[in-house]
Structure 1
Amino acid sequence: MTLLTERSTDTSLTSGSIPQEAFDWYDEYAHGDIDRRTFLSRLGTLSVTGLTLSVVAGALTPNYALAEQVSFNDPDIRASYVVYDSPNGHGKARGYLVIPKNVNDDNKAPAVLVAHENRGLNPYIEDVARRLAKAGFIAFAPDALFPLGGYPGNDDKGREMQKTLDGNKIEGDFMDAATLLKKHELSTGKVGMVGFCYGGYLTNALAASMPDTIDAGAPYYGTPAKSNIDKIKAPLQLHFAELDKRVNDTWQDYEAALKANKVDYTAYVYAQANHGFHNDSTARYQEKNAELAWERTISFFKKTLSA
């Protein structure tokens, strides 16, 4: 059990001299603590040479054209949208399924469930699923917004939509997705889970509520499971951003609970990084730490999900 803080000289997250306050306010806005008017009003109070309100707001707003690391038509993968039964959730759910091209009945692969943030299945999360498939895993990324027609094409609307849904039913949709992966005809039956922000919470929650299904969990800047921490069997690899006070304030108690229940975990804190540092579509992205975290995640899944 270790807690490791990464020291880095990578300052790409604040390129253009965007003040830290702007990142903090965006985090409040993205999580519903302030509305867009307040967010923009606060940005307007910043006085930084060479930066205008539109420049700062634009840098913090996702540009998903930047997020594609693996093309949707990459020849090494097969991607499709799959509707599945979700008796524990909304009855029916849909997700983005990506399978390595070389996986078949005679060459099965472990699976990884991918959980999105609080705004639905956006292009960044779909790309994360493709990255996992390129690394040899069956990847499945459900869209919590399917009952409302699916991710609407922009994060602001997606956040508004997701707030109207029953959180227990969203968790149920992801639980049934995990069961689908465990039983999938091309799966070895080993299931890992990775999630970001709200998806990090879901990763912690499913590790606690589905200890016989989730074999490994890698939550990124996610808050703790609300219950059943004593039931966790899966090893956890947790990723935190040093400047993410909101999430980090929950870690001390969660770590104590993990230790008390003898959960096998490793936690990494990435220096100078903000919440969302892995998301390469905004100025919060920190390339060096994002790549390091992802390398660790892939290695973790290869070790824990091997047959």
Structure 2
Amino acid sequence: MGSPREDEMDTSKIDPRIYALYDQYCHSSMKRREFLKRASTIAVIGGSGLAMAEALLPNYAAAQTISFTDPRIKATYETYDSPGGNSGEMRGYLVQPAGEGPFPAVLVVHENRGLNPYIEDVARRAAVAGFLAFAPDGLWPAGGYPGNDDDGKVLQAGLDRGKIHVDMLNGAKFVKSHPLSNGKLGATGFCFGGGVVNYLAVEMGADLNAGVPFYGRQPADADVARIKAPLLAHYAEEDPRVNAGIESFDAALKANGVDHEIHVYPGTNHGFHNNSTPRYNEAAAKLAWERTTAFFAANLAG
């Protein structure tokens, strides 16, 4: 998963209030300038609130773990039809393992800012693990990921969220039926994407063979009865906004006989798998990813 950057701030020294403000910034219309301004007014021990806030901003160049030219994979951008979505046509990042296939298919769903370099790297990681990975860009109807998360967040907020879900559902159908697919489909996603995985589990029923949401919002209890796929859910310990729904979700899954595992990783913050910011927790991210690939291998075999 890569090592922390040499110039990276010690995450144990970042004030929890800065983490909380960053979470608010990521999940609201707050601009970067406002985030940094607010952080600068927070009195912290042993440092500067502004410096801590700046350290949390993503560094995608340092986060790449697998090159797009890695000989173990082949990566291309593919378009697909998306009736009922935001524009009727979508584009995504398709990464296939070396070899002729067929391969188990895995949909990779981004956060609330489009198909950024971190998510593309996750797709490459999935392909190296032996899966035909497809990561749609929910921002394609608005011109695609703009090259930075701030603008990406604004663009995604401007699109119809329900139609983005439909665009991801059509992406799942696209990769499941791809000539290189063995017909088995898994889905994983992060934050917004984790919620999309839960949505797909409800909407696709038995057509989804495995779901792995990372810190994703849970579906309504009444919808859980429609879930047929086994689920492996990853959560951060310090994530009250998302974690408020875990207990009810777990109870509903149990009541409906859905095969599932829920893991809460101690000492982690929302976004702990994302190795482009100091929220990244290497040990937890590595363990969660090992569990994810093993889960897919067990449930997506041809």
Decide whether the 8 Å contact of 2:11 with 2:279 is kept in 1: no
* Conserved? CA contact 2:114–2:144, under 8 Å: yes
Q: State the partner residue of 1:6.
A: none
**Residue number in structure 2 paired with 1:162:** 156
Aligned AA for 1:91? G
Displacement after TM superposition at 1:50 (Å): 5.2
Residue 69 in structure 1 maps to residue 65 in structure 2: yes
**How far apart in 1 are the matches of 2:10 and 2:271?**
13
Q: CA deviation at 1:54?
A: 4.3
Q: Say if 2:90 is the partner of 1:93.
A: yes
Maintained 8 Å contact 1:119/1:158? yes
Structure 2 CA distance for partners of 1:266 and 1:286, relative to 1, 3 Å: same
Residue 4 of structure 2 corresponds to none
- Matched with 2:290 is 295
Which residue identity lines up with residue 270 of structure 2 in the other structure?
Answer: H
| Identity percentage of aligned residues | 52
Q: Which amino acid aligns with 1:192?
A: G
Gaps of 5+ in 2: 1-7
- Number of aligned residue pairs: give it: 293
CA-to-partner distance for each residue in 1:121-166, whole Å, 9 max, x for gaps? 0000000000000000000000000011100011010000000101
Residue 78 of structure 1 corresponds to: 74
| Other-structure match for 1:212 | 206
Aligned to 2:5: none
Rounded to whole Å, the distance in 2 between the matches of 1:15 and 1:190 is 39
Supply the AA of the counterpart residue of 1:109: F
Task: Map 1:126-145; keep pairs closer than 5 Å.
Answer: 126-145=120-139
Which residue does 1:305 correspond to in 2? 300
Specify the alignment match of 1:257 in structure 2: 252
Q: Secondary structure at the match of 2:207?
A: coil
Structure 2: distance between partners of 1:28 and 1:14 = 21
Query: Structure 1-normalised TM-score?
Result: 0.91
1:57 Cα offset (Å): 2.3
The offset of 1:266, in angstroms, is 0.2
Aligned residue among 35, 42, 45 for 1:46:
42
Give the counterpart of 1:181 among 175, 180, 204: 175
CA distance in structure 2 between the partners assigned to 1:38 and 1:241 by the alignment: 26
Alignment-derived partner of residue 23 in structure 1: 19
**AA at the equivalent of 2:279:** R
What SS class does the counterpart of residue 242 from structure 1 fall into?
strand
RMSD: 1.7
> Of 56, 72, 94, which residue of structure 2 is paired with 1:60?
56
Q: CA deviation at 1:221?
A: 0.2
